[in-house]
């Protein structure tokens, strides 16, 4: 039986450091004023969506983004909908530290202009796998933890698909349905670098630096399971 699921990859809303174009990895920044208004189209799209699984980075900017896109009312309708409240834990959501952005170490909070004369930084720009930010995370470690998260995701999707198949067989009185069935959609709220890294591992031919993604923007990927495992196709 063909099994597929649509994964929605949502980058967190805008922060002050996004506005100032500062490197922001593990630093726990809040959403900037006005960010909720920019997220309103996504809230309207997602707040009633039936997701089978929801995953979120544990950092505040992602928690607040998730809280808002799942809110029944928008910021213009509910003045009490403040970012601090939106960062509270949502029942049923898996908050995963592996979904954090790359740790930029001593480069956290710095801009390109701050670092452009630094030879190590220039080498990192040309080939991030060749240099590790001082006190930060290597490119290999970053790739590995995103890969570990995806491997765990595949296992959970396998379980969800098995449950969906059993339900379909029971509903069809033991007959295998011809139509494809599978788990419900998955939502992942995380960071720009994480989404790019996921896309390079999920979809053939995707290049990390060739994938523009603004704060508050979402991508969709259809994952399909075959004998070779799960592979992705980017959706419009």
Beta bridge partners of 221: 7, 234
Rounded Cα distance, 4 and 154, in Å: 11
**Residue-wise pLDDT tens for the chain (236 aa)?**
678 999 999 999 999 999 999 999 999 999 998 899 999 999 999 999 999 999 999 999 999 999 999 998 887 766 556 666 788 899 999 999 999 999 999 999 999 999 999 999 999 999 999 999 999 999 999 999 999 999 999 999 999 888 777 776 776 655 544 444 556 899 999 999 999 999 999 999 999 999 999 999 999 999 999 888 899 999 99
Cβ atoms within 10 Å of 143's Cβ, excluding its own: 17
| 155 phi and psi angles, rounded to 5 deg | -65, -40
String of DSSP letters for 143-199: HHHHHHHHHHHHHHHHHHHHHHHHHHHHHTTTPPPSS---PPEEEEEE-HHHHHHHH
Q: What angle do CA 179, 183, 186 make, to 5 degrees?
A: 135
- Contact (CB, 8 A) for 196 and 32: no
CATH 3.40.50.1240 fits 3-105+139-235, yes or no: yes
pTM above 0.85, yes or no: yes
> Smallest Cα–Cα separation from 36: which of 75, 9, 70, 63?
75
Tell me the C-alpha distance between 200 and 203, whole Å.
6
């Amino acid at each position: 039986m063909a099994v597929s699921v649509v994964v929605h990859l949502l980058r967190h809303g805008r922060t002050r450091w996004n506005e100032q174009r500062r490197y922001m990895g593990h630093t726990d920044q809040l959403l900037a004023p006005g960010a909720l208004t920019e997220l309103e189209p996504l809230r309207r799209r997602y707040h009633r969506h039936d997701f089978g699984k929801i995953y979120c980075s544990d950092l505040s900017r992602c928690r607040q983004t998730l809280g808002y896109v799942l809110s029944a009312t928008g910021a213009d309708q509910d003045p009490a909908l403040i970012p601090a409240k939106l960062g509270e834990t949502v029942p049923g959501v898996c908050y995963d530290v592996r979904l954090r952005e790359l740790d930029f170490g001593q480069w956290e909070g710095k801009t390109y202009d701050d670092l452009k004369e630094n030879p190590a930084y220039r080498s990192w720009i040309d080939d991030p796998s060749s240099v590790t930010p001082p006190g930060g995370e290597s490119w290999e470690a970053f790739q590995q933890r995103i890969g570990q998260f995806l491997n765990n995701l595949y296992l959970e999707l396998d379980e969800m698909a098995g449950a969906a198949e059993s339900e379909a067989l029971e509903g069809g009185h033991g007959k295998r349905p011809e139509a494809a069935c599978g788990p419900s959609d998955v939502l992942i709220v995380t960071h720009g670098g994480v989404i790019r890294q996921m896309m390079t591992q999920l979809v053939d031919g995707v290049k990390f630096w060739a994938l523009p993604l603004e704060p508050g923007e979402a991508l969709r990927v259809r994952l399909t399971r075959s004998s070779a495992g799960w592979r992705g196709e980017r959706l419009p």
